Amino acid sequence: MGYLSSGYAFNGTPNWEAIKARFSKFSLQGYKHKNSDVTLLDIWRPHKNVQKHFPFCSEPVLARHVEPPLPKSEVASTFDDIMDILPDGEERYGREWLTLPLLISSVAGLPTFAFTADDDVYNYAAYAEAGRIIEMRCRLDEYDIVLMNDVFNVMGIEIDEYDVQRDDGNDFLMESLKALKNVQLKPIVKRSGDFLIYQHPMDVWPAKWGNATELMGFGTFDPLEKLSTDFENTFEYHPTTSRSIQRSWWKFW
């Protein structure tokens, strides 16, 4: 697993104090783009044996790491059901994967874009607004899962150049997916090449926020490479020191 990035984005300044209060046991770092309204949240579980933190490179925070109460969502529950059925789904994305975007959007008071992607294991993004997951896309090995209008479309993937014949003859798996509410099975999608790195974060990123490749480096092997030059650190909190820092946006570092 390489090129991992995991975090959250907003098109404005979130309620940092509310986020700090809700995630008081986590380290938080906020970044504001110098030429747009895009603001990023890096959130991670601090470990006493890890001295150096690389921005947005920590394993994603999971719902089980967060104290209740957590938001309830039929969409989030259905996604968990899909992951229970697909091979390696629960191991890859765990339970309540879509709960965190809902929670952070609610606490931040802004629409929230969540992303976790690398060049191998993860290719996921979601957009939450007003207590709903509006759009979500993720890949799980030979399957693509796309949420649109509260319906999950599950598509098998076949890559031509590997000359591997898919076998979706697992009747129990297929019937189990068909039995889920708001889940549709789509025809197999044939591809002529490998997946683009960060494909789903690029697909889900709100176009009105700007160009995802230019702002975030999505679709390249250098995601967030320009973090230190194009963004400034505007908020910081670490539970070990109970310290929070609110920086003025014009003070570049």
Residues 23-59: tens digit of each pLDDT = 999 999 999 999 999 999 999 999 877 678 999 999 8
- Residue 249 clears pLDDT 50, i.e. is over it: no
Which of 164, 137, 140, 165 lies closest to 153, judged by CA? 137
Averaged pLDDT, 152-167: 71
Q: By percentage, how much of the chain surpasses pLDDT 90?
A: 71
Q: How does the average pLDDT of the chain come out, rounded?
A: 88
Assess contact for 10 and 18: CB atoms under 8 A. Answer: no
Q: What is the DSSP string of 166-193?
A: -----HHHHHHHHTSTTEEEEEEEEESS
For residue 21, with 0-12 CB atoms within 10 Å meaning exposed, 13-18 middle and 19 or more buried, which class applies?
exposed
Helices 74-85 and 171-178, axial angle in degrees (round to 10): 170
Report the Cα–Cα distance between both ends of the chain, in Å, rounded: 31
> 230: which DSSP letter?
H
- Residue 183 clears pLDDT 80, i.e. is over it: yes
Q: By percentage, how much of the chain surpasses pLDDT 70?
A: 87
Assess contact for 78 and 181: CB atoms under 8 A. Answer: yes
Query: In terms of pTM, does the model score above 0.85?
Result: yes
| Higher pLDDT, residue 143 or 247 | 143
